[in-house]
Amino acid sequence: MSDDGVRIYEVGPRDGLQAEETVVATDAKLTFIGLLADAGLREIEATSFVSARAIPQLADADALMSRLQRRAGVRYPVLVPNERGMQRAIEAGVDAICLFTAATESYARHNINMGIDESLAAFAPVAATARERGMWIRGYVSTAFGCPYEGEVSAAAVVDVSQRLLELGVDQLGISDTVGVATPRDVRRVIGARRDAGIPPAAIACHFHDTRGTALANVMTALELGVRCFDAAAGGTGGSPYAPGAAGNLATEDLVYLLDREGLDSGVELDGVIEAARFIGQQLHRSVSSKVGRAGGWPLG
Amino acid sequence: MSDDGVRIYEVGPRDGLQAEETVVATDAKLTFIGLLADAGLREIEATSFVSARAIPQLADADALMSRLQRRAGVRYPVLVPNERGMQRAIEAGVDAICLFTAATESYARHNINMGIDESLAAFAPVAATARERGMWIRGYVSTAFGCPYEGEVSAAAVVDVSQRLLELGVDQLGISDTVGVATPRDVRRVIGARRDAGIPPAAIACHFHDTRGTALANVMTALELGVRCFDAAAGGTGGSPYAPGAAGNLATEDLVYLLDREGLDSGVELDGVIEAARFIGQQLHRSVSSKVGRAGGWPLG
């Protein structure tokens, strides 16, 4: 990654697949993760150690992580919801974890069955264990730009949860547009508030969903604000339980196309991502929802 | 339209439908145009007076324009390729026309069967007639950001054709990303060049295709550069003959969502556009390709 570089944090295997109807086999997930690494992705969120009942799509987390051939220079974070999940992660040899809470009380309660305070209290021992073991830690702040239950969300609420996660020792915040409603003005409002709060831009990753087509416009604004890490999912998988039929995560190939043409080096090869996206589309029995996945790169081949 | 206002120039009935496989009946086109006006659109490019052999989808141009119930305050431009087309437009009572050429010689030859010089020479008497009759005139500069035959396109080429169209008396330039390859850096390069060329931003409309998902990011950049008129097609119709299966024009509903949330008044109602998009999707026997068309607006209803 050059000085002009941007990191792409791939969330397809976890955030992408957990919201898909089709359950993908472990072998296919391993192939998918391998194709993503082949494409040059160096941070690939691999799975989640939640209960198999809650998210059957990721019920194979233990098997997946034990079979995963880790490559040098690639980080494979996994989502850990609690101490039980942390134990499983340790047993699987994981060295990077994600904690998941929200900027709104209602979403936290609906999604992780804990209020915000309760979730942060539950994360404290998990984060302490992770720090002791030298693990890298991400803290997700979901519903940072809008909540399906509470509507608009204040920047103050996002900053508050962010600061409390940083106090727990997280290395990076995943500021997430869970319902895909943000436009550049929201990005300025929410991400811009990090300055007064003393949160460095290097601690922030933006996680945009392309539900309303605004993800790349939001990336451009976040870049202006100094953010240099963006989440994306090859094939734009993920959908939204709040908008059936709607688009999901920002597609990695759409992001790579934009960054390439903006002259920003991500170290990720567009053709490789398109291949990974096609592969996972086949496993999901549907065509990928990304624009570049359908149109191809440029100049035309 | 307030001081913060942005004009949306609807191209669905012409640019959208001309690239669709299904030929839509005249009655349905009239209903579509009516729904667009109901939604608050005040510039609706209605059809094209090209030969029926070249574009069978728009073979009903004369009937359409003679039957169209024009509403006060709404402009219905039509594309006119030559003097014969101009004669038909006059007979149909048209008061706003569009001329169509390109920034690249190869695309002009492939698309309108004339080189750039030849096209401008052919437009001169058409534009003169239009001016005499007090018609509003738009001049399209296609392939302004990339050409399927020549690849990259220089800002100088775009400026040159733009200036020659302005000399013919066009009121507005439609600077078009025909193949949908532009990212914000291209917009800065191409639209930014208008300043040294002495072209006022008020003379520019940007016509982005969302083929690679970058249209809204490009709109944001063009707004920063002072552009205040954007083309869009309800339902994101149009596709691309150069990328089968790819997305088409920027969807009007995606643009309205962005502008609304950015606090920029277009006078267009999102729900009305979504209704028009659904209607034309039914006529085309497919679901609309817009993101907001699938996800709906925000807050969730």
pLDDT digits (tens, 9 = 90+) for B141-185: 999 999 999 999 999 999 999 999 999 999 999 999 999 999 999
CB contact under 8 A, A247 and B151: no
Distance (Å) of CA B278 to CA B21, B41, B144, B283, B284: 17, 16, 30, 9, 10
Confidence of residue A300 (pLDDT cuts 50, 70, 90): low
B185 to chain A: nearest residue by CA?
A262
Residue pair B213/A210 in contact (Cβ under 8 Å)? The answer is: yes
Distance CA B208, CA B250 (A): 6
Q: Report chain B residues touching chain A, CB-CB < 8 A.
A: 146, 148, 151-152, 179-181, 183-186, 210-217, 219-221, 240, 242-243, 245-247, 251, 254, 257-258, 261-263, 287, 290-292, 294-296, 298-300
- Evaluate whether residue A299 is within a structural domain: no
For the residues B28-35, what does the mean pLDDT come to? Answer: 98
Which residues in chain A have their CB less than 8 angstroms from residue B274's CB?
none
- Evaluate whether residue A68 is within a structural domain: yes
Q: Could you please report the per-residue DSSP string of B101-147?
A: EESSHHHHHHHHSS-HHHHHHHHHHHHHHHHHTT-EEEEEEETSS-B
CB contact under 8 A, B243 and A295: yes
Q: Is A275 exposed, middle or buried (0-12, 13-18, 19+ CB in 10 A)?
A: middle
Q: Which of A216, A246, A254 sits opposite B295 (nearest CB)?
A: A246
Which residues lie below 8 Å from residue B78, measured CB to CB, with a gap of 6+? B14, B45, B46, B47, B48, B49, B61, B65, B89, B92, B94, B96, B97, B98
Six token digits for residue B55: 């574009």
Q: Which of A152, A243, A291 sits opposite B210 (nearest CB)?
A: A291
CB contact under 8 A, A257 and B185: no
Separation of CA B173 from chain center: 10
Q: Closest approach of chain A CAs to the CA of B292, in angstroms?
A: 5
B119-134 pLDDT, tens digit each? 999 999 999 999 999 9
Which residue from B214, B219, B239 is spatially nearest to B230, judged by alpha carbons?
B219
Q: Is A200 exposed, middle or buried (0-12, 13-18, 19+ CB in 10 A)?
A: exposed
Q: Which of B38-52, B162-176, B286-300 is predicted least confidently?
A: B286-300
CB contact under 8 A, B212 and A257: yes
Distance CA A95, CA A255 (A): 27
**What's chain A's average pLDDT?**
94
CB contact under 8 A, A295 and B246: yes
Q: How many domains are there within chain A? A: 1
- Evaluate whether residue B300 is within a structural domain: no
Separation of CA A260 from chain center: 21
Reduce the DSSP state of residue A13 to 3 states and report it.
Answer: helix
- In chain A, the percentage of residues whose pLDDT exceeds 90 is 88
Distance CA B261, CA A189 (A): 12
Q: A162-199: buried (b, 16+ CB within 10 Å) or exposed (e) per residue?
A: bebbbebebebbbbbbbbbbbbbbbbbebbbbbeeeeb
The predicted pLDDT at position B247 comes to: 78
Which residue from A42, A44, A8, A51 is spatially nearest to A29, judged by alpha carbons?
A44
Distance CA B241, CA B179 (A): 9
Model's pTM, two decimal places?
0.96
Which residues in chain A have their CB less than 8 angstroms from residue B181's CB?
261, 298
Distance CA B301, CA B283 (A): 26
Which position has the token pair 């734009």? A236
- Evaluate whether residue B1 is within a structural domain: no
A189 to chain B: nearest residue by CA?
B262
Residue pair B206/B175 in contact (Cβ under 8 Å)? The answer is: yes
Contact pairs from chain A to chain B, CB under 8 Å: 132
Q: Closest approach of chain A CAs to the CA of B237, in angstroms?
A: 14
Adjacent-strand bridge partners of A140: A100, A174
**What's chain B's average pLDDT?**
94
Q: Which of B210, B242, B290 sits opposite A300 (nearest CB)?
A: B242
CB contact under 8 A, B181 and A245: no
B240 to chain A: nearest residue by CA?
A295
CB contact under 8 A, A210 and B180: no
Best to test chain B binding among A186, A216, A287 (most B CBs inside 10 Å): A216
Which residues in chain A have their CB less than 8 angstroms from residue B287's CB?
245
CB contact under 8 A, B212 and A247: no
Distance (Å) of CA B261 to CA A181, B153, B256: 9, 33, 8
Q: Closest approach of chain B CAs to the CA of A82, in angstroms?
A: 31
The predicted pLDDT at position B295 comes to: 86
B214 to chain A: nearest residue by CA?
A216
A182 to chain B: nearest residue by CA?
B261
- In chain A, the percentage of residues whose pLDDT exceeds 70 is 97
Adjacent-strand bridge partners of A141: A101, A175
- In chain B, the percentage of residues whose pLDDT exceeds 70 is 97
Measured in degrees and rounded to the nearest 5, phi and psi for residue A202 equal -65, -15
Q: Closest approach of chain A CAs to the CA of B81, in angstroms?
A: 28
Distance CA B249, CA A199 (A): 39
- Evaluate whether residue A211 is within a structural domain: yes
Residue pair B213/A292 in contact (Cβ under 8 Å)? The answer is: yes
The predicted pLDDT at position A3 comes to: 52
Six token digits for residue B297: 């607006």
CB contact under 8 A, A213 and B152: no
- Evaluate whether residue B71 is within a structural domain: yes
Kindly compute the dihedral angle of the four CA atoms of residues A119, A124, A126, A131, in this order, to the nearest 10 degrees: 140
Which residue from B113, B291, B270 is spatially nearest to A249, judged by alpha carbons?
B291
Confidence of residue A246 (pLDDT cuts 50, 70, 90): confident
- Whichever domain contains A253, its CATH number is 3.20.20.70
Which residues in chain B have their CB less than 8 angstroms from residue A263's CB?
185
Which residues in chain A have their CB less than 8 angstroms from residue B254's CB?
212-214
Kindly state the helix (H) or strand (E) to which residue A300 belongs, with its residue range.
Answer: none
For the residues B262-290, what does the mean pLDDT come to? Answer: 94
CB contact under 8 A, A300 and B251: no
Measured in degrees and rounded to the nearest 5, phi and psi for residue B90 equal -65, -45
CB contact under 8 A, A210 and B212: no
CB contact under 8 A, B211 and A295: yes
B50-77 pLDDT, tens digit each? 999 999 999 999 999 999 999 999 999 9
Six token digits for residue A161: 């949860």
Which residue from B219, B300, B225, B221 is spatially nearest to B266, judged by alpha carbons?
B219
- Evaluate whether residue B277 is within a structural domain: yes
The predicted pLDDT at position A189 comes to: 98
pLDDT value at B301 more than 60: no
pLDDT value at A94 more than 80: yes
Cis peptide leading into residue B299 (ω within 30°): yes
Residue pair B67/B33 in contact (Cβ under 8 Å)? The answer is: no
Distance (Å) of CA B9 to CA A88, B85, B230, B232, B266: 56, 22, 6, 6, 10
Q: B165 is in which domain, residue-wise?
A: 7-295
- Evaluate whether residue B301 is within a structural domain: no
Confidence of residue B91 (pLDDT cuts 50, 70, 90): very high
Q: Report chain A residues touching chain B, CB-CB < 8 A.
A: 146, 148, 151-152, 179-181, 183-186, 210-217, 219-221, 240, 242-243, 245-247, 251, 254, 257-258, 261-263, 287, 290-292, 294-296, 298-300
B197-211 pLDDT, tens digit each? 999 999 999 999 999
